[in-house]
Amino acid sequence: MPNPALAAQSLLKKHAVDIFPVPIESIARAEGVMITRKAFDGTQSGFALRDGQTRIIGVNSATSPRRQRFTIAHEMGHLDLHEGKPLIVDHAMRIDWRDDVSSLGTNEEEIQANAFAAEILMPARMIRPQVASYVRGKGITRDRLIVKLARDFDVSAEAMGYRLINLGILAS
Ligand SMILES: [Zn+2]
């Protein structure tokens, strides 16, 4: 079974990404993945399509820019981890920020794609020192910490909140 976090780390290393927010779209394009945007109807948030050597990620442009970044990261997870699947269509309900079994994404592949997305957009090795810098000194409230980190990493506060819980930095 592929390890989603290790796969995400190796992609960051390959593209020498040491800064945040992580340039997820540039990484995808550098990997030869085409990204198309369209305002989809309904709850569809994105898809990953494989056709021979061609790999395409579709993003629902009607969603927020931060949600679109997460969608690209999530679909990159599918392309990286789940070979042999020609088409995976994701709906907003299936893409949940949590990467544990308590999330709505109970499907194993969805859990893996979310874990990949969490690690590539919010790498533990970048998050931990940033948390330390905010907590140092006079301290910071939980909500303020989440909002600041969400801005730093260009993800939703919801995604960052779950990430900090999953990393054991915040209690659930
Ligand atoms: Zn998915």
Residue that wins the pLDDT comparison between 138 and 107: 107
Question: What is the 122 CA–ligand 1 centroid distance (Å)?
Answer: 18
Q: Is residue 45 a part of any domain in this protein? A: yes
- Count CB neighbours of 142 within 10 A: 11
Q: Is residue 17 a part of any domain in this protein? A: yes
Strand locations in the chain, DSSP E? 33-38, 44-51, 54-60, 87-91
Q: Is residue 126 a part of any domain in this protein? A: no
Q: CB within 5 A of ion ligand 1: which residues?
A: 90, 110, 113
Convert 90-140 into a string of H (helix), E (strand) and C (coil).
EECCCCCCCCCCCCCCCCHHHHHHHHHHHHHHCCHHHHHHHHHHHHCCCCC
pLDDT tens digits, one per residue of 70-98: 999 999 999 999 988 888 888 765 444 44
For residues 21-40, give the mean pLDDT. 96
What is the per-residue pLDDT for 51?
Answer: 87
pLDDT tens digits, one per residue of 106-136: 588 888 999 999 999 999 999 999 999 998 8
For residues 42-66, give the mean pLDDT. 90
Residue that wins the pLDDT comparison between 64 and 138: 64
Question: What is the 147 CA–ligand 1 centroid distance (Å)?
Answer: 25
What is the per-residue pLDDT for 35?
Answer: 97
Q: Is residue 59 a part of any domain in this protein? A: yes
Domain span at 39: 4-121
pLDDT at 101 over 70: no
Question: What is the 79 CA–ligand 1 centroid distance (Å)?
Answer: 10
CATH of the domain at 60: 1.10.10
pLDDT at 104 over 60: no
The tally of domains found in the chain comes to 1
Q: Is residue 137 a part of any domain in this protein? A: no
Q: Is residue 147 a part of any domain in this protein? A: no
Q: Is residue 103 a part of any domain in this protein? A: yes
Alpha carbon distance 12, 163 (integer Å): 18
Q: Is residue 154 a part of any domain in this protein? A: no
What is the per-residue pLDDT for 99?
Answer: 44
